[in-house]
Structure 1
Amino acid sequence: MLSQQRVVMPRQPGAFRSGKAVARPVRRPIIKTTAMLKVMISGAPAAGKGTQCAKIIDKYNLVHISVGDILRDEVKNGTAAGKKAKDFMDRGVLVPDEVVVEMVKSRLAQDDVKQRGWLLDGYPRSASQAEAIEKEGIRPDLFLLIQVPDELLVERVVGRRLDPMTGAIYHLKYNPPPPEIVGRLQQRSDDTEEKCRVRVDTHNANVGAVVGYYTDVMKEIDGTKSMDAVFQDISAALDEVITKKDPLEAYCKDAPAADECRVYE
């Protein structure tokens, strides 16, 4: 889907000559098109996916879509899909893929998504989920996979500490807390090495099957770099997709002066 915007063009130099009436050239406004991006992002726990999602949304104005958020909203609002999901949740079993896909389809059909594009966060998580949304024609322009070695993931998780008074999160190595508050910091119950390794192993067991559906649009991102460096790599990948989808947008964005982005007949 492409949005349209008029670009106002200044008068061409030399359009009039002294002593002669010279007709102005026919000028029509160029239509500047902005490609609607469809992006999926995946990464193990503590890979930095949440931080990068926030940066992507801020820069590219995509609609952030988390299946967990959709599920909670649908159940809260008592939709048909939400009622189906609640029945499974009340019985303590996983919500079937077809119910989740129904929710995702409904969310992607809303106006804000159609106008701005979407960032699907952490979904699909299994081959069955990937196959289900493929059948529905839900496919990204770009699949971002943030890669971080398992040992570093564990280190990131085990070193996290929560300040219960402010809600701030610190890391004993990478973001040390002020000495005066160390005594009140807490380690969340799921931030242990044992539980982290279970979550990482689950991610590793499933991600290979998922990316098999998206090898032609996948970009691996080195998540061991700084947050800003990781985002630079992600931005480069997204900008490349924009260029392919809408070369005019890329040219107008990079032109040194607005005058260069004009069309005359």
Structure 2
Amino acid sequence: MLLGPPAVGKQTVAKKLSAELRAVHVTTDTLLQDQSELSVQAHQYTLTQQELPAELLITLIQQRLTEVDCFNRGWVLEGIPQTRLQALGLQQAGVVPEHVVMLEAPDDVLLERSEGKQVDPQTGDVYHQTFIWPVDDIVAQRLEKGPALSEKQQLAELQRFRCEVTGLRSAYQHVLKIINSDQPHNDVYQQVCVISVLAFVRTHHRPRTPRILLLGPPGSGKSHQARLLSEKYKMVDVCCGQLLRSVAADGSGLGEEIQPYLDDGRPVPDSLVLQVLEQRLSQVDCSCRGWILHGFPCDLQQAKSLQESQHQPNRVFFLELTEDVCLERLTLRATDPVSGERFHALTRPAPSFQVQNRLETRPEDSTHTVTHTLNQYRLHTAVLQSLYPDAVHIDADQDPHSVFEALESRLSTD
């Protein structure tokens, strides 16, 4: 996010930064350019010179940032939010920036810049006779005087920003950097680059937003570790099996297609699974906070499909466990139908003879079923490992806390 008062140079810096990063430059104007129902509704406010309601603006931004280009390339959001209310609304909607840069300059400098603003009609780039002038004479010759507010209107806009600036700084205090814009443009831009996404992109090969894939045999603890990661780092826990059951129960057309497979105990076709994952991983919470996926992929074709989608993982972990330990963990566990608690004959026995007598073992935890599932996993393990040569292998035959520490220690390494 690039914030600051009017005429501070946000547009010039944002355009240059997004071009160098190949990120999507998002402004209020670009949000109104598509023909969606929301954009048309928002455009009506601009025609009557009314301020966009905060809820409508936030929904527009949320909708835009979940599109494929923003998801894959990242984004530079210019001049939004303008108020603390908008900032809090964006945070609640899951729009959380990695960097917020606020440009600052004295009011007299801003008023002077606003007075002398000139615009390239072909590109929309903003110039100024004193502060920033095009090096190309052809561009300089076609510049036109930009639309200017009266001094009274300019002062009103500046006053509005000054009233909101403390709230904006507070909302983004942990990721905020303030830069003095009353200096040569190139100096301002270089400072933005050093502290913004560019510094990260130039030194890392992978996106910062975590996209974690947990692989491993049944009983290796994937679900448990995903829950721990989600609780500590606020990433979205995406269990493929639970997700399919949830969609099947929501009454949607896609859910109705999935339900017969679940009822019969048959595998859900990859095409349907991928549709469900595409919908879930494209939501704002996943794109902004990151995700942990487990339960998919199970074979080479599924893994290739995931790689060809817009949701490639940037961290892959294999939780390693011997077949004997997997069998012991799964076939000796059972659930109390009264309390819903799960017990294990060795590691967590039932607290009483009464509870022990009513325990139920799930069909998928029978020795025959677990052995078959393990064989299927072993059959595909080698090809999955070849597809993810940089994956980290974790010994899962230790207590869950130690496994979690091992995962944690590798989250921030290349």
In the alignment, structure 1 residue 198 sits paired with structure 2 residue 365: no
1:155 match: 328
In the alignment, structure 1 residue 214 sits paired with structure 2 residue 309: no
1:134 match: 307
1:6 match: 173
Contact 1:163 1:184 in 2 (8 A): no
2:316 match: 143
Alignment of 1:59-78 (within 5 A): 59-78=232-251
- Give the distance between the partners of 2:380 and 2:358, measured in 1 at CA: 34
Give the partner amino acid of 1:197: T
Which structure's CA Rg is the greater one? Answer: 2
User: Aligned with 2:387: secondary structure?
Assistant: coil
User: Aligned with 2:337: secondary structure?
Assistant: coil
What is the TM-score normalised by the length of structure 1? Answer: 0.72
1:116 match: 289
Contact 1:3 1:115 in 2 (8 A): no
Contact 1:38 1:118 in 2 (8 A): yes
What is the TM-score normalised by the length of structure 2? Answer: 0.48
- Give the distance between the partners of 2:343 and 2:257, measured in 1 at CA: 39
Give the direction of change, closer, same or farther, for the CA distance of 1:237–1:89 in structure 2 (3 Å limit): same
Q: CA RMSD in A?
A: 2.9
Give the direction of change, closer, same or farther, for the CA distance of 1:36–1:163 in structure 2 (3 Å limit): same
Measured against aligned partners, the alpha-carbon deviations of 1:219-264 in whole angstroms (never above 9, x if no partner) come to 11101011111111011111325xxxxxxxxxxxxxxxxxxxxxxx
Gaps of 5+ in 1: 10-26, 242-265
Give the partner amino acid of 2:320: Q
- Give the distance between the partners of 1:239 and 1:192, measured in 2 at CA: 38
In the alignment, structure 1 residue 234 sits paired with structure 2 residue 401: no
User: Aligned with 2:293: secondary structure?
Assistant: strand
- Give the distance between the partners of 2:407 and 2:216, measured in 1 at CA: 13
In the alignment, structure 1 residue 164 sits paired with structure 2 residue 337: yes
Query: Post-superposition shift, 1:187?
Result: 4.0
Measured against aligned partners, the alpha-carbon deviations of 1:105-153 in whole angstroms (never above 9, x if no partner) come to 1211111111101111121111111111222242111111111100111
- Give the distance between the partners of 1:8 and 1:39, measured in 2 at CA: 23
Aligned residues: 222
In the alignment, structure 1 residue 225 sits paired with structure 2 residue 398: yes
The one of the two structures with greater contact order (alpha-carbon pairs below 8 A, sep at least 6) is 1
Give the direction of change, closer, same or farther, for the CA distance of 1:184–1:113 in structure 2 (3 Å limit): same
- Give the distance between the partners of 1:164 and 1:55, measured in 2 at CA: 25
Give the partner amino acid of 1:147: E
Give the direction of change, closer, same or farther, for the CA distance of 1:175–1:78 in structure 2 (3 Å limit): closer
Identity, % of aligned pairs?
23
- Give the distance between the partners of 1:57 and 1:178, measured in 2 at CA: 30
In the alignment, structure 1 residue 51 sits paired with structure 2 residue 242: no
- Give the distance between the partners of 1:78 and 1:187, measured in 2 at CA: 30
Q: Which has the higher helix share?
A: 2
2:122 match: none
User: Aligned with 1:123: secondary structure?
Assistant: coil
- Give the distance between the partners of 1:8 and 1:182, measured in 2 at CA: 51
Contact 1:146 1:221 in 2 (8 A): yes
